[in-house]
């Protein structure tokens, strides 16, 4: 890797994590010389990635453009957005769609309100696969070699006392996910947070991501769980039908052309 590029990107991550940071805070966070941090920030500002407001560095509005691009760069993301909207209207819980990239989970669509951390599941924030229902739902569809690659890169750090922290636990959990057809999370990422997720696929069987429902754990009983699982399964079917129809339409247009 290029150390200079890595340093610039690390500064972006620190600014996001700190929700704005002064020069002194960034020097402390990176252990870089003040002149080096200043040079990186000046370059990032020149390209619109950071702005200096009253001696505090914030991420620039350019990230909004990048985020919009990411959310629309694949045709099936539109189907995901429509499905999340439908699921959100049908369920009493929060709905979202998440994908796996580079061994981390990112939520692309959703308006998740329950959290005891201001950054929990904000769009674009990466999370470990083993602490989220979406992560477990997605990697349950992967071959074991890919799952082990993710573990080797990111480890199995605990987010709460209920987090999975061993490979044995994780692979046992993934077997359960395959058996029941969806993943469940109860306080593994955030205490008091419950969620279920189901992987969705292309007509060729590629894993596109995970549709998820979530909310406070205290409202969950067997009847509520069963209702949410049924809604999630209907949403997954709706998504996969929508994707199949999208690809059929594209194929017909290509043949006509």
Domain with CATH 1.10.10.10 in the chain: 3-64
Instruction: Give the C-alpha separation, 194 to 160, whole Å.
Output: 13
- Residue 119 in this model has a pLDDT that exceeds 50: no
Please, what is the Cα angle at 242 between 239 and 248, to 5 degrees? 145
Q: Given this model, what pLDDT does residue 72 score?
A: 65
Dihedral sign computed on CA atoms, order 63, 68, 72, 77: positive
Q: Cα–Cα distances in Å, from 49 out to 9, 38, 62, 65, 249?
A: 10, 14, 6, 11, 38
* Torsion, CA 5, CA 6, CA 12, CA 18, rounded to 10: -160
Task: Identify which of 63, 26, 61 has the alpha carbon closest to the alpha carbon of residue 41.
Answer: 26
What CATH number does the domain located at 74-252 have?
3.30.450.40
Q: Which CATH number fits domain 3-64: 1.10.10.10, 3.90.930.12, 2.160.10.10, 3.40.50.970?
A: 1.10.10.10
Residues 6+ apart with CB under 8 A from 19: 118
What crossing angle do the helices spanning 75-90 and 62-72 adopt, rounded to 10°? 90
Distance of CA 79 to the CA centre of its chain: 17
Confidence of residue 257 (pLDDT cuts 50, 70, 90): low
What digits encode the pLDDT tens for the residues 76-86?
888 898 999 99
Residues 6+ apart with CB under 8 A from 71: 77, 81, 108, 109
Element (H, E) at 150: helix 144-154
Question: Does the pTM exceed 0.85?
Answer: no
What digits encode the pLDDT tens for the residues 83-110?
999 999 999 899 999 999 889 998 887 6
Domain with CATH 3.30.450.40 in the chain: 74-252
């Amino acid at each position: 890797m290029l150390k200079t590029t890595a340093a610039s990107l690390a500064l972006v991550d620190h600014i996001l994590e700190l929700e704005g940071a002064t020069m002194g805070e960034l020097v402390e966070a990176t252990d870089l010389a003040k002149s080096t941090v200043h040079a990186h920030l000046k370059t990032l500002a020149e390209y619109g990635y950071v702005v200096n407001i009253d001696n505090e560095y914030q991420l620039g509005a350019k990230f909004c453009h990048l985020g919009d691009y990411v959310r629309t760069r694949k045709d099936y993301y539109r189907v995901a957005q429509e499905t999340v909207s439908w699921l959100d209207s049908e369920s009493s819980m929060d709905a979202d769609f998440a994908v796996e990239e580079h061994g981390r989970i990112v939520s692309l669509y959703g308006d998740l309100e329950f959290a005891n951390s201001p950054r929990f599941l904000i769009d674009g924030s990466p999370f470990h696969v083993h602490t989220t229902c979406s992560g477990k739902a997605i990697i349950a569809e992967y071959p074991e070699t890919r799952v082990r690659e993710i573990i080797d890169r990111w480890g199995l750090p605990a987010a709460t006392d209920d987090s999975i922290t061993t490979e044995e636990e994780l692979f046992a959990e993934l077997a359960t996910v395959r058996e029941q057809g969806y993943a469940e999370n109860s306080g593994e990422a955030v205490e008091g947070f419950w969620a279920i997720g189901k992987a969705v696929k292309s007509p060729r069987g590629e894993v596109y991501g995970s549709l998820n429902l979530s909310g406070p754990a205290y409202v969950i009983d067997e009847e509520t769980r069963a209702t949410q699982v049924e809604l999630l399964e209907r949403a997954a079917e709706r998504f996969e039908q929508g994707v199949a129809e999208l690809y059929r339409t594209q194929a017909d247009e290509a043949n006509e052309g």
